[in-house]
Structure 1
Amino acid sequence: MDYIVQTMIDYIGSQGYFAILVGTGLASMGVPVPSELTLAFAGYLVFAERLQFGWVIPAALLGEVLGSLIAYLIGYFGEGAFVHKYGKYMFLSPRKLEYAQAWFERYGMITVLVGRILPVVRGMIALPAGLLQVNLKKFMIYIVLSSTIWCIGLVSLGRLLGENWRKLYEMGHAAGLVAVFGLLLFLTVGFWVRKKQA
């Protein structure tokens, strides 16, 4: 992970807006490239006056939307075969996919809005949405809304923290682990309760 972090920092530092687009796009597809790292560092570069806030946000948002759309289409047309064959490269196991599908089936599109603003969890939203063939138009509307909140929020915080931008990434990673644990615990308890009632 340290190698990935340093590689992304170097890439964003040299390629600017395009690297931000690529980084957020990969994260939205479920590839383990933390978008909180990309956006926090982008915020620092805005602070350092190497990038402009007005261009960072559109680049980040475009990456978020394109990455989510690609993951959705992979799920829609590839069905479960893609996960079984390539899911390990995205840290997405069939079991994790089952949890995500259960969440979608229970809470519907609110899963997109809430899940996409949770670190780590957000990368596991688009593919299950495609597998379940949720309404694409509604899905993309929620993606745009949640991604706008996510991008503006993290870039703004990264700019505010300035030289201490890494604290945002570290806090985001910790929050993500807590969010994943909480989500899995909630679903496990839910399944247990339903099983007892059956």
Structure 2
Amino acid sequence: MEIFNFLFHQKNHIDFWNFFQHLFNPRWIFLYCGKTAIFILLAIVFAETGFFIGFLLPGDSLLFTAGIFGEDLCKNFYNVPFFVIILIVALVAILGNIQGYWLGYKSGKLLYEKKDSFFFKKKHLILAKLFYNRYKTTALIISRFLPMFRSFAPIIAGAIRVNFKKFMIYNIIGAIIWTFSIMLSGHYLDKNFPELKNHLEWIILLIIVTTMIPIILKLRIYKKKIFI
């Protein structure tokens, strides 16, 4: 209910359209959403790996920004330690992967027959499968740091019927490494360089470019494999 109270009682009367536009601005989420910010963070982290639309969402930059605004998150969530916040985010990331796994497990074969749409591209599925075949179950760890593969890796794991216990081991390891490394980086960088908040847009742009470079390189490699 907090999310709806926030939307309808802000002084600036932010409408739903503007709200969803702001979802792609991590700084805005933590500056203006107050107690709701933690729930928006968790919803985006879950959706990133639980649904096809996930690759469109700002996962890495959102976690990094969450680290920078870690103290505010803690104050707005019962004053729990920041360590607990990261654990909760990691748990939701694990649950998101489980959702993605079962999505692939139940409809894996049908996905290859699905027509392309704005939220679904078959080529992303094929590339993710090649990526998974190359790195096996460790792809679940590596993919956490690659936006597109992060969304499709658990779906592929379910589609090809990876042993669920083995899947869970790498799922848990990947989620913990991803959340702790990025959120703690933002948290401690802000401690040592508090002026980071004033240049957050550039930092987020750098994170996006950095995570996209390996994707572009792998896309070129995998495209060659597909057409050879």
- When normalised by structure 2's length, the TM-score is 0.71
Given residue 207 of structure 2, which amino acid in structure 1 is its aligned partner? G
Aligned to 1:33: 57
Residue identity (%): 21
Structure 2 unaligned residues grouped into runs of 5+: 1-19, 191-196
SS of 1:161's partner is helix
Q: How does 1:1-198 map to 2 (within 5 A)?
A: 3-6=22-25, 9=29, 13-29=34-50, 30=52, 31=54, 32-48=56-72, 50=75, 52-82=81-111, 88=117, 90=119, 92-162=120-190, 163=197, 164-191=199-226, 195=228
1:9, CA displacement in angstroms?
Answer: 1.3
* Structure-2 separation of matches of 1:179 and 1:72: 24
Given residue 69 of structure 2, which amino acid in structure 1 is its aligned partner? L
Q: Deviations over 1:126-148 (max 9, x none)?
A: 11111111111111111111111
Q: Per the alignment, do residues 93 and 180 of structure 1 end up closer, same or farther by CA in structure 2, a change over 3 Å counting?
A: same
* Structure-2 separation of matches of 1:166 and 1:50: 24
RCO higher in structure (CA 8 A, sep ≥6): 1
* Structure-2 separation of matches of 1:87 and 1:135: 29
* Structure-1 separation of matches of 2:87 and 2:33: 15
* Structure-1 separation of matches of 2:188 and 2:160: 39
Q: Deviations over 1:124-183 (max 9, x none)?
A: 211111111111111111111111111011111211333245444322211222121111
8 Å CA contact 1:76, 1:133 repeated in 2: yes
* Structure-1 separation of matches of 2:38 and 2:23: 18
8 Å CA contact 2:101, 2:157 repeated in 1: yes
1:84, CA displacement in angstroms?
Answer: 5.6
Given residue 102 of structure 2, which amino acid in structure 1 is its aligned partner? L
Given residue 183 of structure 2, which amino acid in structure 1 is its aligned partner? V
Given residue 117 of structure 2, which amino acid in structure 1 is its aligned partner? K
Q: Per the alignment, do residues 151 and 104 of structure 1 end up closer, same or farther by CA in structure 2, a change over 3 Å counting?
A: same
* Structure-1 separation of matches of 2:92 and 2:63: 11
1:6, CA displacement in angstroms?
Answer: 3.2
Given residue 25 of structure 2, which amino acid in structure 1 is its aligned partner? Q
The runs of 4+ residues in structure 1 deviating greater than 6 Å are: none
Q: Per the alignment, do residues 81 and 190 of structure 1 end up closer, same or farther by CA in structure 2, a change over 3 Å counting?
A: closer
Q: Per the alignment, do residues 189 and 85 of structure 1 end up closer, same or farther by CA in structure 2, a change over 3 Å counting?
A: closer
* Structure-1 separation of matches of 2:135 and 2:205: 30
* Structure-1 separation of matches of 2:185 and 2:115: 34
SS of 1:5's partner is coil
SS of 1:88's partner is coil
Q: Per the alignment, do residues 15 and 87 of structure 1 end up closer, same or farther by CA in structure 2, a change over 3 Å counting?
A: farther
